[in-house]
Structure 1
Amino acid sequence: MTLPAPLPGQVEVWAAGDHELGEGARWIDGRLVYVDILAGRLLEVADLPGPRTPREIARVDVPLGAVAPIGDRPGHWIAAAGTGIALLAPDGSLDWLARPEDRSPVPTRMNDGACDPHGRFWAGSMPYDGTTGAGSLYRTDPDGSVHRVLDGLTIVNGPAFDSTGDLLYVADTAAGVIHRCTLDPDGNPIGREEFTRVDAGGSPDGMTVDTDGCLWVAIWGHGAVHRYHPDGTRLATLRLPTSQPTSVCLTPSGGRLLVTTARYGLGHPADPAGSVLRVPVDASAPPARAYRQGVRGPIGGSRPPGPAIGTPGGTGEGATAARGARTASTVDNGGPLDHPVRRRPAPGVDADRHDADPVPGHHHQGPARSGC
């Protein structure tokens, strides 16, 4: 099961680009879909021979962390954007389900996200200044209710799921740790363990699970992708020609690993930072799962613990149900749509995943990582 590292010359630029913070790579309807976070852009690359050019699908005026398609609604997406979760229409308009990070004590934005096999959308948040423990993981159920599932994390990346949806992998990038959670039928964690810790340089970023149940992880700051056995053993390290890979996507066929990268903070790099890379591999994964909008109530039968964010008695205000089952048309969490998360981060803090403190000489959770 061990995967050999690619031979020199095997890694190639699959789609050239100069994305500041490309991330969230997903294989959807025979094409690659991903985001350029700080630019608020949703992009696609058609699976065609010859030179490939990313095409903009939509653009929003807040950071766009990740999207998932909405089932049976072509061109519509659920998005981790700005300070919350929204439905993204083909014209780029956002219909907010909840904006829980509007009330964060530090400027915070949504980050990576994906759907599980049950059609629930999971997304994490992160503080701009790397404040330890200020990030959370949220789950959006098919009825549109948004629930905080984990807190006390810092920079949340992933999430990724096994084929049954019973196991959740999520990275706390700033800490260099990947956690694995066992989920009950409603998506509530009933067990959590440290799956692995990245100690050899770099930090864990975007992830995916292949058809063998192995976890693939982009290692930010170290120019690599790791593949892990379900028991946590690292099976392979794939070296890349740029230092900041951000997410990984395995195609369902053809033996291709596609890797988004970032040029953030690199000035004018000579390497392919900001492009999408391709690595030939002997592995595959299913296409990205869709969000099952409009299914009322929990999937597993029991009610999730505590009130949903955005409901009376919850931690937010306003609408929590998807279009067609909404209690209000928008979420108003007391702040303008153009929240301060649009601003650039503090000096010395990576816009996506630094754990570096802006105070020189002070670091969060051990030695500073070079750009997580």
Structure 2
Amino acid sequence: MTEQSTLEPLWTDRLELGEGIRQVAGRIVLTDILAGRLLAAPGDPSGALEVLAELPEPLGAVAPVAGRDGHWIAAAGTGVALLGPDGGTEWLARPVEGGEVRRRMNDGTADPQGRFWAGSMAYDAVPNAGALFRVDHDGSVHRVLEGITVPNGPAFTADGTALYLADSARGVIRRYPVDPESGELGAPEVFVTVGEGSPDGMAVDADGALWCAVWGAGAVHRYLPDGSLDRVLAVPASQPAGVCLGGDDGRCLYVTSARTGLASPGPLDGAVFTARVGTPGLAVAAYQPR
């Protein structure tokens, strides 16, 4: 298997805050969070991303809904919603609406058991204002963690017994044991502390290694299950934000980036990048409603 040492840009789009990237039914999908857009890869690698949905509020991340083609569960605005292919939106809950601190939902994913997990944060990253929520099969939304500043990831091991969650503002990735039946979290351990930049979007590969976009450092890191740093890939954009492994054989690494907050964005800031890697990724889990 030939690996690439550099990441190459894809498509013509330059996103404000590209994140939530994953491969669903053979197609790459991602979000432009602050623009509220759900996007999909075009057939032409030199073309523009296709807009699948557009909301009047931020759209952090989605997961497909099992057995419902074109339907998504989404971390959006101040809560969690179901999105239909016709543009319809059904809100399950808005747990971060109101209060003294203005907050929004951020990154999220489904676990192998079919629950959906998503984090929230303050718009101005107020310390400890973030939280992590779990959406069960019956659509109920539960606050499972508090005291986080900017939660990112989350990412699960193949069997769903461990959760990786980044607290980006603190530069820390923690690993939590998970009861796969109930979804209850155990006591966390610090998996890794990132010295330069902030850990952001993450994905686990078939060897159990964790890929992590490092915001502000122009890099993607791969960590082995023991927390040791295995490799670093340079990204030609200063703010990598999300990662996934896909392609026909699961060995294409895709990386999103952001232009937001940059005084003078470069020509590749906000682009999506790709490179070939040796270890395939895991299949994307779907949310499974009861």
Q: Provide TM-score, normalisation by structure 2.
A: 0.95
Equivalent AA in structure 1 for residue 27 of structure 2: R
**Mapping of 1:1-372 within 5 angstroms?**
6-7=4-5, 10-46=6-42, 48=43, 50-184=45-179, 185-199=181-195, 201-251=196-246, 253=249, 255-293=251-289, 295=290
Aligned pair in 2 of structure 1 residues 228, 95: CA closer, same or farther (>3 Å)? same
Q: Which SS does the other structure have where 2:41 is aligned?
A: strand
Q: Is the contact made by 2:7 and 2:275 (CA closer than 8 Å) also made in structure 1? A: yes
Q: Which SS does the other structure have where 2:160 is aligned?
A: coil
Cα drift, residue 214 of structure 1 = 0.2
Equivalent AA in structure 2 for residue 93 of structure 1: G
Equivalent AA in structure 2 for residue 150 of structure 1: L
Cα drift, residue 283 of structure 1 = 1.7
What is the distance in 2 between the residues matched to 1:143 and 1:254? 31
Cα drift, residue 226 of structure 1 = 0.4
Equivalent AA in structure 1 for residue 136 of structure 2: D
Deviations 1:179-213 (A, max 9, x none): 100011211112211111111x1100000000000
Q: Which SS does the other structure have where 2:97 is aligned?
A: helix
Equivalent AA in structure 2 for residue 30 of structure 1: G
Partner of 1:330: none
Cα drift, residue 6 of structure 1 = 4.5
Deviations 1:323-360 (A, max 9, x none): xxxxxxxxxxxxxxxxxxxxxxxxxxxxxxxxxxxxxx
Q: List runs of 5+ in structure 2 lacking aligned partners.
A: none
Q: Which SS does the other structure have where 1:266 is aligned?
A: coil
Q: Is the contact made by 1:256 and 1:283 (CA closer than 8 Å) also made in structure 2? A: no
Cα drift, residue 87 of structure 1 = 0.6
Greater radius of gyration (CA): 1
What is the distance in 2 between the residues matched to 1:93 and 1:216? 34
Q: Which SS does the other structure have where 1:100 is aligned?
A: coil
Cα drift, residue 89 of structure 1 = 1.4
The worse-fitting range, judged by mean Cα deviation, of 13-22 and 77-86 is 13-22
What is the distance in 2 between the residues matched to 1:25 and 1:254? 14
Q: Larger % of strand: which?
A: 2
Q: List runs of 5+ in structure 1 lacking aligned partners.
A: 296-372
Deviations 1:117-146 (A, max 9, x none): 000000000011221111000000111010
Which runs of at least 4 in structure 1 moved beyond 4 Å after TM superposition?
A: none
Deviations 1:264-298 (A, max 9, x none): 122453331111101121121123211101x2xxx
What is the distance in 1 between the residues matched to 2:251 and 2:44? 16
What is the distance in 1 between the residues matched to 2:250 and 2:210? 19
What is the distance in 2 between the residues matched to 1:157 and 1:181? 14
Equivalent AA in structure 2 for residue 289 of structure 1: A
What is the distance in 1 between the residues matched to 2:100 and 2:15? 30
What is the distance in 1 between the residues matched to 2:60 and 2:197? 21
RMSD: 1.7
Equivalent AA in structure 1 for residue 40 of structure 2: E
Q: Is the contact made by 1:60 and 1:93 (CA closer than 8 Å) also made in structure 2? A: no
